[in-house]
Amino acid sequence: MTYPERAQVPLGRPFRLELPVQGAVKDRLQIQGATETDPVSVEWLADDLVGIHLPVITKEQGLRLRLAHVDGFVREIEIRLYPGGGRIVPLVPEMRIKAGQDAEIQVRFMVGDTVLKGESIPSGQAFFGLMSWSDFSDPDGDGIATATVRLGPGEHTVHLLADGCTEAQVRIIAEP
């Protein structure tokens, strides 16, 4: 039986990954697993299918499964999990500031109609130059993540990037 090397899971939501275990007798097979951060639970869905209940995934990480047969055969499987399906929604897509003044870019990270909050938000940054970026954070868990940038005079396009999300942009006009 071959298993995928990579699997996309919904960003910021618990998920059940279904894997076939053809030819296995469920009374004679033990399955254990964990992501890089949390253990997973396993549920038999049918005689040849298991459901792996994953925790919330906000960044790419590995899933390790250990299948142990009572006769001593052991197989270890690693699947890279990567989040997807998210989008970045700026609260204000264009703003004016004084050059040299801090500008707070506020966004919501969403999957469908669900706003991700607190620890469920993905790792994200606002890029505003070759080596200039600011990380997003949602310290109060209200679903509004903030990154702070300071820009010189002119019109700037700030690129908003996050694991599992499509890119967004904010236009900032920094007036002298």
Q: Choose the weakest-confidence range: 3-17, 88-102, 160-174.
A: 3-17
Q: What topology is assigned to 6-84 in CATH?
A: Immunoglobulin-like (2.60.40)
pLDDT at 70: 77
3-state SS, the chain, equals CCCCCEEEEEECCCEEEEEECCCCCHHHEEEEEEECCCECEEEEEECCEEEEEECCECCCEEEEEEEEECCCCEEEEEEEEEEECEEEEECCCEEEEECCCEEEEEEEEEECCEECCHHHCCCEEEEEECCEEEECECCCCCCCEEEEEECCCEEEEEEEEECCEECEEEEEEEEC
Whether pLDDT at 79 is above 90? yes
Give me the residue spans of the domains in the chain: 6-84, 86-175
Joined together, the tokens standing for residue 34 give 């964990």
Average pLDDT over residues 42-57: 90
Rounded to whole angstroms, the Cα distance separating 10 from 32 reads 22
pLDDT band of 64, cuts 50, 70, 90: very high
pLDDT at 45 over 70: yes
28 token code pair: 């004679």
CATH no. of 86-175: 2.60.40.10
Query: Quick check: do 6-84 and 86-175 share a fold?
Result: yes
- pLDDT of 95 reads 96
Cα angle 58-60-65, degrees, rounded to a multiple of 5: 105
